[in-house]
Each structure stands twice: as C-alpha cells, then as structure tokens.
Amino acid sequence: MSNQVVVIAGPAGSGKDTIIDRLLERCSNTTRMVTANTRAPRPGEVDGVNYHFMTNEQFKDEMEKGNILEHYYREKTDTYYGTFKPDLEKRIASGRVVLAQITIVGAKYLKEHYNATTFFIMPSSLEDLERRIRARAPMSDAEWHERMEFTRREIETEASWYDYRIPNEDGKLDETVETIVEILRKEGYNLG
C-alpha cells in the first residue's frame, strides 16, 4: 500500500488548519479527512464538509457498527469526536493523499493502521500562540490558563511521539508548508 494518510496535529492556534488549506491548494492529489463530532454546527459549517455532525446516540450507534475507528469524549461539553471510517475509506479509495487534523489518539490509530506520517506543528513561542488564540475568540484569563496548561502538556508529553515536529513561526507559513511538502515527497507520497 502506498503512503496515503498524513496527520497534521498540534495545539490550538498553531496553524494546523491553515497549513492543511495551503497543502490542499498547492498539491492537487490531496484531500481533507472529515471527522465526526456531536457538537452543534457553528455558523457557516456544513455537514459532511467541515465535520460529520451527529447526535450522541447516532455517534454511539456508528461506534457499535465499527464506523468510528477511534474517538475521545469531552466530558465538560458532553461531546464525542472521532474518525469516521466511511469518510476515510472513501478518500483512500480515490487514490488521493488524505490530510487528517486530529488528536494524538487518532494520530496513533492512523499511524498503526494506515501507516500515516505524523507531524506536530510547534508554535514559535507561547506568546505568539496566546496572541493567535486570543485574536480568534475572546476568553477569560481562567480559560486562557486552562488552555495554556493543556498546550504545555501537549508539547512536553506528546510532541516527541510524532514523526516530525515542525515550527510554524509567524510570517513564515510558506516555509512551513514547503518543509512539509519536501518531507512528504521524501516519504514517497504522490502529492500531484
């Protein structure tokens, strides 16, 4: 089986989605994996495009059918998130390289079962990360400190597991994307 699955992970605000968007624009043989979740769609989000939106009951039913390959549950919001097998398998069958923005639980699953190459996007500094996150959504200092504690833990305990740790410095997005493209070509991916 040729290499077809790529994981792009990292803390909130690290630029994962923007990097995937650039890879999709630049590399004609790529597609974005669409994960499932049970939260309500945000304004502008489309079912099957941004996420596969389900109720908790539908999600559990899909898990029983074997269609949720891995998942995690966020207790505070009573929300499930997971890899939706029908979406992933359809994209792999198309012959394209599948880009997955996913947590470490999903990254480990995709590495083990789909031979994924995994990237962890590193913020250039915690100050840059704070500015990016606060610019996206207002939050209290308590929320910010909770987010930063999670981010520190992610960087200290999870980042080393990934195949590649790539810095995404402000103003250097093109260089970050170029580095990822070069690595994927060396790893044997047909990016188009």
Same domain? For 115 and 161 the reply is yes
Same domain? For 181 and 120 the reply is yes
Q: pLDDT per position in the chain (192 positions), as tens? A: 468 999 999 987 788 999 999 999 999 999 999 999 999 998 899 999 999 999 999 999 999 999 999 998 988 889 999 999 999 999 999 999 999 999 888 999 999 999 999 999 988 777 777 777 767 666 677 777 777 787 888 888 888 999 999 999 888 999 999 999 999 999 999 999
For 13-25, the DSSP string reads TSSHHHHHHHHHH
Q: Provide the 3-class DSSP secondary structure of residue 70.
A: strand
Same domain? For 61 and 154 the reply is no
Please state the domain count of the chain. 2
Same domain? For 122 and 190 the reply is yes
Residue tagged 């740790």 (tokens)? 165
According to DSSP, the β-strands at 68-74 and 164-168 are unpaired
- Domain housing 124: 1-29+97-192
Same domain? For 114 and 21 the reply is yes
Domain at 37, CATH number? 3.30.63.10
Same domain? For 66 and 133 the reply is no
Same domain? For 37 and 106 the reply is no
Handedness of CA 76, 78, 84, 87 (dihedral sign): negative
For 24-58, the DSSP string reads HHH-TTEEE---EE-SPPPTT--BTTTBEE--HHH
